[in-house]
Amino acid sequence: MRLSELQQKIVVNIKDGRHLGIIIDAEVTETGSINYFVVAPRHFFRRLFKNGNETNIAIKEIVKIGEDVILVEL
């Protein structure tokens, strides 16, 4: 699966059902493995007026990748 495909999916925390946002970037090692995904709120104005609102999601925190949603446990 490509990063561009993951960036179209909504990220949801399964513990509280909170909508975390969408994937905007990934931290990749020199060997090509992914350390974590960077998730930002989906709405432009939330990103514009809040500082430090990005969340890092490690690969081990991803529970399920569906067609429209990525479920994570934080």
The structural domains of the chain, ordered by start, are 3-72 (2.30.30.240)
CA distance linking residue 21 with residue 25, whole number of Å? 12
pLDDT reading at 40 higher than 60:
yes
Widest CA span in the chain:
36
Whether pTM > 0.85 for this model: the answer is: no
Question: What would the pLDDT profile of 46-72 be if each residue is shown by its tens digit?
Answer: 555 555 578 899 999 999 999 999 999
Q: pLDDT by residue (tens digit) across 6-35? A: 888 999 999 999 899 999 899 999 998 999
